[in-house]
Structure 1
């Protein structure tokens, strides 16, 4: 009898301890259904050159998504420029910033920031509870806007990571065509359903692309058009080229950052040899590295053939739910 009680107690302690180690499950309802966005009063630009810039060119603003561990201070970078080709920076002008998300009932005003010589502002988001938040930025001079997302995670948060070009889209080159307005990038059959299936299993979704930062607006629009989560989206903040060198080291470096923050990347998807190299450099097991396209199955990776339709039923649907609470 005493031995039986010891077994019961041991199982109970293990279960409680295991449950305590699990991170909270992502809940995107608040961030995806915010109250009406703030509408600050429009004021005149401080500089005549910026008045002309705003009058004759279309805003092409973007914000870099941020992921931090609970307890850490978050800072988000907003980049403000005009025209999809010119990308003329908005310098020395006022930008209002707001935040809304987990546990909040209304937008919180974060302050009035001034763009620097690169058209950037650095928004102090403070320390937030674990969850997801929408950061809304408004240019005071013309009320043009951009939105970024803050993800505050706990240790052991489980995530699935995706490349975009040639992995969710059918071709690496489609990003260029879409950017130039020549066509809309086509998704692989089943790509959107696959991402949504992982989200329904409570995995955090992460997109990691070597696209340059100025494609953030188009990238987020494309994700939204597919009906899949538009964040967490990480592009190359220092990238200027559509086909940069050093893709593998860039991606491996960011994955290592995520791992150091306690994110458990349980599975990754890619299409290129640079994806295979990046995932290997970051220590992702080949058994959880899925590659589609010409390089499917290379270097011990798991092959995805032609599209994701059968992959969903054979792999995704039989994957256990994320360990979260």
Structure 2
């Protein structure tokens, strides 16, 4: 009953998160198949997807590739080293809420590799268990096992890329695992909990020297309604705004990298990737909060300001275009130095600090198709 009460309380708080978001994954693979429930690899980046009006988007300038290769042979699960971890894995109401943190870097930089293993909405951390790490370079090469790490214990005092370790984390870098100088493009890292072969993933996007990024919120901006995060908890997948995927794909096919920045709860990372894939959005870098219940209002704005500052610190990049729908987005994008002329807010009310109000994404597709091209 205690576990149920915690889960119910957290579920209610997340509904509050969605309803309050006037200001504005969990990856738990369970078998070595290409995709598993709650854990979906990249997809829907086809170069022949028709945009609004039947226009076929070009395929000659994709900055990322589909990542749909089968998983490596994971072998027999080793069993848990600690009885406590076995107990929480077998008695969790929601199951695994494992996730990785995507990274966007410049060529020659050493990416942070951050993943967390936990169970249930209350985030019962998996501590002191071995995790095998695999890499598929370019998302098309075969898998290579590059190392094994232990999940952290509570009380570990470290922070990496703005993420504070509160237990259950893998925090390392590619170079520490013998991987250096990743080529321009998209690379898939797989983290496998040896105890039961559950897994999560993250993607590292290596930017070319000439690059540009667009940043977009998700809930209410791309999703058809603001409460999408809450409905994801009970398995209801919201539709996307008509034309939104076409617009984002238009930027993508002109060479832009996509940064999906959402104040959703941390455990919805995998659900978020799945939703973007199934609704036809192109691959990109996805960041959620690290919080159990996400963030709204001023907290959501502060989270996005911090994330955009980290992007600038790590890569020197300030997004060229931005899309949101709430005052928190207006504040975050303006504070981060994004050009108001290239900032669009869906059906927003109130001051946009000179940015544009969007009421139909289909009308923005020509704008995206006419954006300065980064194609070779």
Name the structure 2 match of 1:321.
373
Matched, 1:46 2:100: no
Instruction: Report Cα offsets for 1:140-191 as digits up to 9, x if no partner.
Output: 111111111111224442111111111001232221122243x322211111
Q: Which has the higher strand share?
A: 1
Cα separation, 2, equivalents of 1:257 and 1:155:
18
Name the structure 2 match of 1:106.
142
SS of residue paired to 1:214: helix
Kindly state the Cα deviation for residue 38 of structure 1 after the two structures are TM-superposed: 3.8
Matched, 1:137 2:191: yes
Kindly state the Cα deviation for residue 297 of structure 1 after the two structures are TM-superposed: 7.5
SS of residue paired to 1:111: strand
Aligned partners of 1:189 and 1:308 also within 8 Å: yes
Matched, 1:268 2:322: yes
Cα separation, 1, equivalents of 2:372 and 2:283:
23
In structure 2, list runs of 5 or more residues that go unmatched.
1-60, 154-166
Kindly state the Cα deviation for residue 43 of structure 1 after the two structures are TM-superposed: 0.7
* TM-score normalised per structure 2: 0.72
Larger deviation: 134-143 or 57-66? 57-66
Which residue, 255, 268, 277 being the options, matches 2:331? 277
Larger deviation: 294-303 or 166-175? 294-303
**Higher Rg:** 1
Aligned partners of 2:239 and 2:279 also within 8 Å: no
Aligned partners of 1:35 and 1:106 also within 8 Å: no
Name the structure 2 match of 1:120.
169
Name the structure 1 match of 2:96.
59
Kindly state the Cα deviation for residue 240 of structure 1 after the two structures are TM-superposed: 3.3
Cα separation, 2, equivalents of 1:179 and 1:138:
24
Aligned partners of 2:96 and 2:118 also within 8 Å: yes
Go from structure 1 to structure 2 and tell me whether the alpha carbon gap of 1:308 and 1:194 turns closer, same or farther (over 3 Å shift): same
Cα separation, 2, equivalents of 1:27 and 1:166:
26
Kindly state the Cα deviation for residue 92 of structure 1 after the two structures are TM-superposed: 0.9
Aligned partners of 1:34 and 1:101 also within 8 Å: no
Go from structure 1 to structure 2 and tell me whether the alpha carbon gap of 1:259 and 1:243 turns closer, same or farther (over 3 Å shift): closer
Q: Please, what is the CA RMSD of the aligned residues?
A: 2.2
Q: How many residues end up aligned between the 2 structures?
A: 294
Cα separation, 2, equivalents of 1:82 and 1:176:
18
Aligned partners of 2:89 and 2:96 also within 8 Å: yes
Question: Which has the bigger relative contact order, CA under 8 A and spacing at least 6?
Answer: 2
Go from structure 1 to structure 2 and tell me whether the alpha carbon gap of 1:38 and 1:249 turns closer, same or farther (over 3 Å shift): same
Go from structure 1 to structure 2 and tell me whether the alpha carbon gap of 1:206 and 1:97 turns closer, same or farther (over 3 Å shift): same
Which residue, 234, 243, 256 being the options, matches 1:190? 243
Name the structure 2 match of 1:291.
345
Name the structure 2 match of 1:178.
232
